[in-house]
Structure 1
Amino acid sequence: MNYSPERLMNRLGSEGDRESLADSNGIKGEGQKLRRLLGLSFFLFGLINNVLYVIILSAALDLVPPSTPKGIIAFCNIFPALIAKLGWPYLLRGRIQYARRLISCTAISVGGMMVVALFDTLYMRLLGICLASFSSGLGELTFLQLSTRYHPPSMAGHSVGYFASGTGGAGLVGAFLWWELRGLGVRLGVGLSSILPFVIPITYFFILPRPDKFSAVASDDDDAEGAPLSVSYTRLPNEENMEDSILVTEGEAIATAPIALSMQDKWKLAKPMLTKYMLPLFCVYLFEYTINQGIAPTLVYPVPTADGHWLMSRLIHSIRDYYPLWQLVYQTTVFLSRSSITLGLPPLPGRLLSVPAIVQGFILTTLAFESAVGIFGDQNEGASFVFVFLLISIEGICGGLAYVNVFFRINQEKHDSPGADAERAKQEREFKIGSIGLADSAGILMASLLAVPTEIELCRAQVGRGKTFCKSL
């Protein structure tokens, strides 16, 4: 069959278009697959890193003698994590060896849970809880820092969104796991939960895509700052394992002297974040955990009857059911709000990051007043139940939104350090997102100190008006 030159050119052009379209579809499909694997990996990181924290809190009644204040469990479960988040970003110099750090976190976490399972003495169990807490705190800041290694910015934000969703899901999964395992006893139940941290290195080495994989599938609409760093790969000094298999610029490859941020550099980076990011996150967690640990235990009412409150009677069978229900409502709404970005909802504008803290402060004041005085009266438990249910739901939403949006915003900040300063820009991004984490842990620690006197005073106020339910818990 003969073709005229014009028809032949048209045919060749059509075939070229089809090949280009096929290549484009192939790249798009590969990009979608990588996004799914990246999201799954960071979701698992958040879930497993935080689930042991929840299991330990859920098992508090079983881990210590009845005469021991349960607040000591909360303290040992958060203070070592605070030390890790406060010290590690400032003490570390140079590049982060992610594989080495995550393997260390896994070993410490497994060791801590095994100590809790194998020893019956209070001090050894508290030691095991401290080890697991330290590993969790170090792991959280490590995963947040790891997210900054992904380009373009949409991939970094994608990572943070799924990590936050995983940490929210840990509340529900951890409480459910201990509910199922507690019948086996502390030794076997905690011992079985100690295998969970092994999911982290398995995910890191076998599921998590390497950062350089996204260079070929970067979308055209990503800005230049977040674009892949270069087209060539050169191994830097002291690089090892997968975490260093990333694309680097020519200027970065030329630089042979090791780059490390000084304490002065780090303070210069941290100072503007104190009021912009840290203070709102600190306040949200201070108010949130003061509500959960100090006020929620006193939000108890008469057991509802089937005739007067058919729905409440299905949920509440004794006054001891109120507190677990409030925690379930809180954990559910935290999970949903921490998943807001992964569900496609837009992030909060930077100027509104303080709004969750303001709302949380209002909720704390209102719930404290409800506990002490009784806004609807002691005989109208139906209205009080609905009122508290709504406020605790909003509390969880505010807490989750504050967490995911603060870390998302700091992750998306631009760093203009071209050429030989590219390695420095990476370290700055890692430091900034890692240094924020101490704000939420400091808020939780402060709340654990305020919760005990708050609960005592609120219970005393209830007894003073003739409501004695808090004394019988």
Structure 2
Amino acid sequence: MSGIKNKDESPEIFNLVSEAEKEKKEKCNNRRNLAAFWLFGLCNNLSYVIMLSAAYDILEPKPGPNGPNATTPAPEHNGTTMPGDIMLEDVMASNRTPLIAHCNPAGTGVILLADILPCLFIKMLAPFFMQKIPYSIRVLITIIFSAAAFIIVALSKVIWFSIVGVVCASISTGFGEITFLSLASHFSANTISTWSSGTGGAGVGGALLYAGLTNIGLSPRNTVLLMLIFTVTLGFAYFWLLIHPKTITQKLEKKNTDADINAEVDSDDSSPLITDEKEAQVRCEHTLKEKLVLILPLLQYMIPLGLVYTFEYFINQTLYELLYFPNTFLVQREQYRWYQVIYQIGVLISRSSVNCFHTEKIWIFPIFQGITLIVLLCQVLYQFMPSIWIVFCIILLEGLFGGAGYVNTFYTIIRKVKVEEREYSMGVASVSDSCGIVIAALSSVPVHNFLCSLYK
């Protein structure tokens, strides 16, 4: 009898073991997918960050023993005016030490324009045709342009060719961002958190690597070439690490669905990182008219995010190089590099915190960022802050506001938009940050020239 009992129970035991193994495998796959999306964010955004961190050096390429893009170190000032320096005497009070600062003939906003305009065009056009391109081809295009960007900028001996490299970085970043945000719609909302955290990591990693490696003596040329490691890592993350769901290869037709199909994504950590078949059935192709109509409800998210990016990139590419403190341990170009690092640290912290803190009140972030801009602009004009450490703290807040605006926008969209509209909506919403950056870049050039005229 006992033998019969054991024989009867064996299928149940087998089922329990199978369920345990299945659960273990699912957890492993979930971890791999989360890790893959973190690497997507890191590697895709790194070229963009490196170009902005190197903007000061790109505008002054000079052949030298350390490579074609090696630059002459910024002069240490000891109270005497150096050749090429310009002084802010008309704005400073007579009892203050005159501010010595170097203004590039073309501000770093020129690099920002080259780094964002191609990205914007891609984001505006891609949602209307990219769904017809397989994800593997999209990722390969991203990788090719990323590699080209680093190689061209590193080997260039003239500014215009360096800018071609920056344009390649912009194409890579824009194509990659819209690709990976659309890809995230095939997974749970948790992938948005890890993607955003990865982009924050790209900011800190890129800015810190560039500032740190150049500070210890590595030439800008070799530093940029070293970044090719991350281009290779991007391919590894997509083609090997990511578990590809069936939905990214299926061409699904529009179907009538039962009213009980819910568009809400479960935000619990235990939710699957690959969408199920029932959800996959409601994915569909929209007509051009339907796509244009879907943009209207997204404006409530896109406009605040666009304003956040306008304010923060105006600060970064117009004010950073003029926020100069002459009596510190850092010369001017080093101050610019470390402003970028601190800003990116703030971005990383806030983009990684959405699972701990989330708000749908996106409009609060442009308000905070606008206040930050006003404070730093006043510092450029009136030099009222006694220490560079105060500016460091304000720039950290700037990064926190910018990163929070980004991650909360996309996290809200992926939770509130219908399943069949989610992939398209994520791609369209990504246009708003690029629009904000373009506005900042276009305004930064004349404002930079005006502020520099005050230093004459």
Range class of TM-score, shorter chain: 0.7 to 0.9
For the residue of structure 2 that corresponds to 1:82, the secondary structure is helix
CA distance in 2, matches of 1:179, 1:295: 18
Shift of 1:195: 4.6
**Higher alpha-carbon deviation: 64-73 or 42-51:** 64-73
- Deviations, residues 13-41 of structure 1 (Å, cap 9, x unaligned): 7x887666555543433232122111110
User: Are 2:303 and 1:292 equivalent residues in the alignment?
Assistant: no
2:291 aligns to what?
266
1:205 equivalent to 2:239? Answer yes
Higher helix share: 1
1:96/1:407 CA distance change after superposition, 3 Å: farther
Q: 1:116 aligns with which of 133, 147, 153?
A: 153
For structure 2, the 5+ residue unaligned runs are 62-103, 248-260, 267-273
Aligned to 2:394: 391
Kindly indicate whether the alpha-carbon contact (under 8 Å) linking 1:326 and 1:389 is maintained by their aligned counterparts in 2: yes
Contact 1:54 1:175 (8 Å CA) reproduced: yes
Partner Cα distance (1:62, 1:86) in 2: 30
Match of 1:39 in 2: 34
SS at 1:346's partner residue? coil
Q: Distance in 2 between matches of 1:190 and 1:317?
A: 22
Instruction: State how far apart, in whole Å, the 2-side matches of 1:203 and 1:333 are.
Output: 25
Q: How many residues align?
A: 392
Output aligned runs, 1:296-335, within 5 Å. Answer: 296-301=320-325, 303=327, 316-318=329-331, 321-335=334-348
- Cα distance between partner residues in 2 of 1:19 and 1:357: 57
Contact 1:368 1:458 (C-alpha < 8 Å) held by counterparts: no
TM-score by length of 1: 0.73
**Distance in structure 2 (CA, Å) of the matches to 1:386 and 1:177:** 21
Q: Which amino acid aligns with 1:296?
A: Y
Classify the secondary structure of the residue corresponding to 1:120: coil
| Larger RCO (CA within 8 A; separation ≥ 6) | 2
User: Residues 91 and 108 (structure 1 numbering): CA distance in 2 closer, same or farther, change over 3 Å?
Assistant: same
Query: Cα gap change, 1:59/1:356 in structure 2, threshold over 3 Å: closer, same or farther?
Result: same
**Percent identity at matched positions?**
32
CA RMSD of aligned residues (A): 3.5
| 1:175 lines up with 2:198 in the alignment | no
Aligned partners of 1:95 and 1:102: how far apart in 2?
Answer: 14
* 2:189 match: secondary structure: helix
Q: In the aligned structure 1, how far is the partner of 2:230 from the partner of 2:393?
A: 34
Q: How does 1:55-454 map to 2 (within 5 A)?
A: 55-65=50-60, 69=106, 70-92=108-130, 94-150=131-187, 156-179=188-211, 182=214, 183=217, 185=219, 187-211=221-245, 224-225=262-263, 248=277, 260-274=285-299, 276-301=300-325, 303=327, 316-318=329-331, 321-341=334-354, 344-348=355-359, 350=360, 352-374=361-383, 377=384, 381-382=386-387, 385=388, 387-415=390-418, 425=420, 428-454=421-447
Instruction: Please say if residues 43 and 202 of structure 2, whose CA atoms lie closer than 8 Å, have aligned partners that are also in contact.
Output: yes
TM-superposed deviation, 1:98:
0.4
- Tell me what 1:236 maps to: none
Structure 2 residue identity aligned to 1:141: I
